[in-house]
Amino acid sequence: MAAWGDERRDDPAPCREQDHGRFEVTQRDGRARLGRLHTSHGVLETPALLPVVNPNIRTIEPRVMWDKYGIQALITNSYIMWKHEDLRTVAQRDGVHGLLDFPGVIMTDSGTFQSYVYGDVEVGVDEIVAFQRSIGVDIATMLDVFSRPDMKMAEVEHAVRETEARAAQSLEAAGTTMLNGPIQGGVFRELRHISAQLMGQHDFAVHPIGGIVPVMEQQRYKDYAKIMMATLPLLPPDRPVHMFGCGHPMLFPMSIALGADLFDSAAYALFARDGRLLTPWGTERIDDLIDWPLLMPCVAGTTPADVRAMEAEAKEQLLAHFNLEVTLAELARCKQAVRDGRIWQLAEQRSHQHPALREAYLWLTTSPSLQRGVRPEKFYTDRDAARDVDRDQGMWEDAWDWMVWSQQTPRVGGVQWGGDDTFSRPHIAKARRHLHMRWTHDANMEQAVIFHGIRGPFRERINDLLEWLNIHHPNVQPMVLTPLGLIPASLEDLNPFAHLDAPPWVLRHEPEAAWIERELQRLGMNDVPFATVDVAGDGLKQRLAASLTTLGLHNDVHAPLTLEERDEARHQLRIKQGQDKQMVLLNVGHEVAHDVMNGATFVVNREGRMKNINNAAGEHMFSPRLRDGGLSMATAGAQALFDRRSEALPSALPRTEWWGHSGQGPAVVIVDDDAEPFVRKGRNVFHGFALACDPWLAPGEPCLIANQTGEFLGHGVSQCTSTELACLSKGIAVKTRGGVRR
């Protein structure tokens, strides 16, 4: 039997011809995505790290990368091959895969980076692309013009315009070879915008973000984050984004959270040459170590002292293996975090490893210019220093919207409190926006009673009181105060609000009147008189009575309800819950939600919680979900919302995402005639079969499906935003939950 690591892996199967160059998204967490890029040397799973292989100095043999580490793609430099006669001859004779002895995906760079390091390169724009094509690379790179962070705006603009001016001829020279279209723009937000827009209009397969190596070398990670936020929202979402020259694992979680798909690393080899070890928290020198910072497979059984005693080449080799293993392990961790919906949490944890990374993270999540007041800022009073109140003010809102609105909410599972950072996680911002934009109180509302003081769910403590209030004070809006914000009591089980795993003192903070007032304002309840009631401990009824007194209301909370009153109250509270959840979770307007609940009947479990909401004819409309407090739509509910839609159906696939809509109901997706019979049978909608959709389509949110003549076909859960629906051509667009047969 072969020793561990000596097995040979089979060569990859080429993709189907019709899929060549396509990129599909298989899982996501906000803008972080797991994808598949189809090439003739296999389907590359992303996020992926492409180790840099210098064709002259192979610190780790490409074949070892393939066989031992399962590395599916690498990057090498075509300019070096073009320049060296011996390499060029072999590459042209055996192809680049033969030259490097690597059966997977090979990307090549063009010489731009050499021009940045050594000055001009003498190769022509068409020539270098034609050369890459001639040696059979999978993904070639055009000769872009490098933009350094120290350049003046005019110089950077020239780099951006000149790069774009070369795009068409480079694509022409590439023929069917996939081509990288790098985005330049230095540290100028507007120029990154322009570059992304201009390059995005050409038919590139991948967009690398260029000019970031010096930014990373100088550890300007806030600028790195800004470059990403200025660029990615403007790129076509069906193309992978490559962070050119980014191979330090410390940057992976944040980059992936912001939407990066590909990385390349020379760092594993360069740092090894220097006796340095990469870790997810930075870099360590082998000379300083008694123990390994991480016990990677290649160093099991040795100590740093053993390795120091090795001869130079063997030591460099081993450290390169160590660095590659650490890098791959961190990438694997990020991929799992995307599957688990925790990539932002990982980015948050990693941000504590380096001050510059922390600065970048805080700029992203707490800069007031990004936030539009969505945070419960009670928790942020000590963080002014982190804020970037500079000339950026107000310029990044669109980018942050782009991030927030791609988040899935509600989610399953507890929200793990991690200090103040918890409150600015983008999926929590999204949950708050949904609530603030979509929920509206009843017209008869005059006052509010606010319960607080425990972790959700509140219902066991307050259900009797809610029933009593419903009968005796129907104009009082009951609310629940959570550390993540103020919510109507009807949403008391909704994730994330009800699911914060935090120490008791976070949950039991004294409610501050000013904060509550701001929260009420955000809910459209300006100047509404309110009183608070601590729910923890004995004497709850007395505390409610006292609060009612402060509102000038009668307070005989001990007077029992009659059985009829109790049943009526329960019915009313169920109606209210169905209505409020439709508003917040399905984007239904107040009147329509009310109308849909008219005549509704309920199936309840033994504890009296609603399992199903049926219409007057007994058809299943919705089910409140116990695990996340969400609301699942059933076919009769979807039909009811479709029938009550007042806007015209969408007639095109939007070019921009837009979430300013509230109250128009779940987004509608119009599919073509080929897809119709499948949807009617409850089968998923695939990319390429949608003709139109509403611009507020968002991943994880329910949507309605119709045909071109406006007939309702079914409903499902969208896997994408509207622009993604417009661009992507492979993969599932909508997971269909129910279809209507003819």
Active site residues: 109
Q: Which residue is nearest to ligand GUN (CB)?
A: 210
Question: Which span (91-99, 138-146, 392-400, 714-722) binds ligand GUN, by CB under 6 A?
Answer: 138-146
Kindly state whether residue 144 participates in binding ligand GUN, applying the rule CB under 6 A.
yes
Supply the minimum distance, in Å, between the C-beta of residue 208 and ligand GUN: 6
**According to the binding rule CB under 6 A, does residue 211 interact with ligand GUN?**
yes
d(Cα 555, Cα 425) in Å, to the nearest integer?
40
Of positions 245, 253, 410, 739, contacts ligand GUN by CB under 6 A: 245
CB of 264 to ligand GUN, least distance (A): 8
Q: Can you tell me which of 182, 237, 280, 304 binds ligand GUN, judged by CB under 6 A?
A: 182
Element (H, E) at 624: strand 620-624
Nearest distance, CB of residue 111 and ligand GUN, angstroms: 8
Q: Is the peptide bond before 47 cis (omega within 30 degrees of 0)?
A: yes
Q: Residue 434's closest CA among 730, 162, 78, 701?
A: 701
d(CA 690, CA 701): 17
* Ranges within 304-363 binding ligand GUN (CB under 6 A): none
Task: Choose between 141 and 684: whose C-beta lies nearer to ligand GUN.
Answer: 141
* Structure-block tokens of residue 39: 């090439």
Say whether 62 sits in a helix, a strand or coil.
helix
**Beta carbon of residue 190, minimum distance to ligand GUN (angstroms, whole number):** 18
- The secondary structure of residue 656, as a DSSP letter, is S
β-pair partners for 478:
449
Contact predicate 708/736, CB 8 Å = no
Nearer to ligand GUN, 213 or 347 (CB): 213
φ and ψ at residue 107, rounded to 5 degrees: -105, 145
Nearest distance, CB of residue 213 and ligand GUN, angstroms: 5
C-beta closer to ligand GUN: residue 112 or 718: 112
State the amino acid at position 145 in one-letter form: V
Decide: 398 and 232 in contact? Cβ < 8 Å: no
* Nearer CB in complex with ligand GUN: 39/110: 110
Of the pair 260, 634, the CB lying nearest ligand GUN is at 260
Question: Tokens for 624?
Answer: 């409140």
- Residue 486 Cβ vs ligand GUN, minimum distance, rounded to whole Å: 47
Find all residues with CB under 8 Å of 546, minimum gap 6, and list them: 555
Q: How far is the CB of 267 from ligand GUN (least distance, A)?
A: 12
Q: Which of residues 366-385 bind ligand GUN (CB under 6 A)?
A: none
Candidate segments 84-92, 206-214, 345-353, 563-571, binder of ligand GUN by CB under 6 A: 206-214
Apex CA 387: angle with CA 498 and CA 360, to 5°? 85
Residues 615-634 that bind ligand GUN (CB under 6 A): none
Q: Does 164 bind ligand GUN (CB under 6 A)?
A: no
Q: Considering only 140-148, 151-159, 226-234, 281-289, which stretch makes contact with ligand GUN by CB under 6 A?
A: 140-148
Query: How far apart (Å, rounded) are the C-alpha atoms in residues 619 and 601?
Result: 9
- Going by the DSSP 8-state scheme, the letter that residue 93 receives in this structure is H
Interface mask (CB under 6 A) for ligand GUN, residues 213-232, using x and -? x-------------------
Looking at the Cβ atoms of 51 and 457, the one nearer to ligand GUN is 51
Per-position x/- string for 100-119, each x denoting binding to ligand GUN as judged by CB under 6 A, each - no binding: ---------xx-xx------
Size of the site for ligand GUN (CB under 6 A): 13
Judged by CB under 6 A, which of 244, 268, 379, 678 binds ligand GUN?
Answer: 244
- Considering beta carbons, is residue 245 or 280 the nearer one to ligand GUN? 245
Closest separation between CB of residue 146 and ligand GUN, Å? 5
User: What's the 3-state SS for 41-61?
Assistant: CEEEEECEEEEEECCCCCCCC
Structure tokens at 284: 């360590």
- For the CB of residue 596, give the shortest distance to ligand GUN in the complex, in Å: 54
Query: Which residue among 146, 292, 396, 689 contacts ligand GUN (CB under 6 A)?
Result: 146
Q: Is 301 exposed, middle or buried (0-12, 13-18, 19+ CB in 10 A)?
A: exposed
Among 39, 108, 141, 722, indicate the residue that binds ligand GUN (CB under 6 A): 141
Rounded to 5°, angle at Cα 68 from 342 and 63: 120
CB-nearer residue toward ligand GUN: 161 or 661: 161
Residue 641, both tokens: 């919302």
Of 143 and 500, which has the nearer Cβ to ligand GUN? Answer: 143
In the three-class reduction of DSSP (H, G, I as helix; E, B as strand; rest coil), residue 126 is classed as: helix
- Looking at 149, 210, 426, 496, which residue binds ligand GUN (CB under 6 A)? 210
* Residue closer to ligand GUN, measured from CB, 227 or 429: 227
Contact positions with ligand GUN (CB under 6 A) in 517-576: none
CB of 183 to ligand GUN, least distance (A): 9
Tell me which stretch binds ligand GUN (CB under 6 A): 47-55, 207-215, 517-525, 651-659. 207-215
Q: 55-94 mask for ligand GUN (x: CB under 6 A)? A: ----------------------------------------
CA distance 448 to 486: 11
Tell the smallest beta-carbon distance from residue 89 to ligand GUN (Å).
Answer: 24
**Residue 179: CB minimum distance to ligand GUN, A:** 11
And the tokens for 712?
């309702």
Stretch that binds ligand GUN, among 141-149, 231-239, 278-286, 595-603 (CB under 6 A): 141-149
Stretch that binds ligand GUN, among 56-64, 208-216, 492-500, 587-595 (CB under 6 A): 208-216
Long-range contacts of 152-161 (CB under 8 A, 24+ apart): 153/186, 153/188, 153/191, 156/184, 156/185, 156/186, 156/188, 156/191, 157/188, 157/191, 157/194, 159/184, 159/185, 159/186, 159/211, 160/184, 160/185, 160/191, 160/194, 160/195, 160/198
C-alpha angle with apex 38: 15 to 402, nearest 5 degrees?
160
Q: Is 421 in the site for ligand GUN (CB under 6 A)?
A: no
Q: Which of 719, 737, 722, 736 is nearest to 24 (CA)?
A: 719
Choices 187-195, 209-217, 322-330, 643-651; region in contact with ligand GUN by CB under 6 A: 209-217
DSSP 440-493: ---TT--EEEEEESSPSP-HHHHHHHHHHHHHH-TTEEEEEEETTEEEEGGGTT
* Nearest residue (CB) to ligand GUN, 158 versus 358: 158
CA distance 562 to 541: 18
Q: Which is nearer to ligand GUN, 113 or 271 (CB)?
A: 113
Q: Would you state the structure tokens that stand for residue 612, as one six-digit string?
A: 């199903």
Q: Judge contact between 179 and 152, C-beta under 8 A.
A: no
Using CB under 6 A as the criterion, which residues of the chain lie in contact with ligand GUN when the complex forms? Answer: 109-110, 112-113, 141, 144, 146, 182, 210-211, 213, 244-245
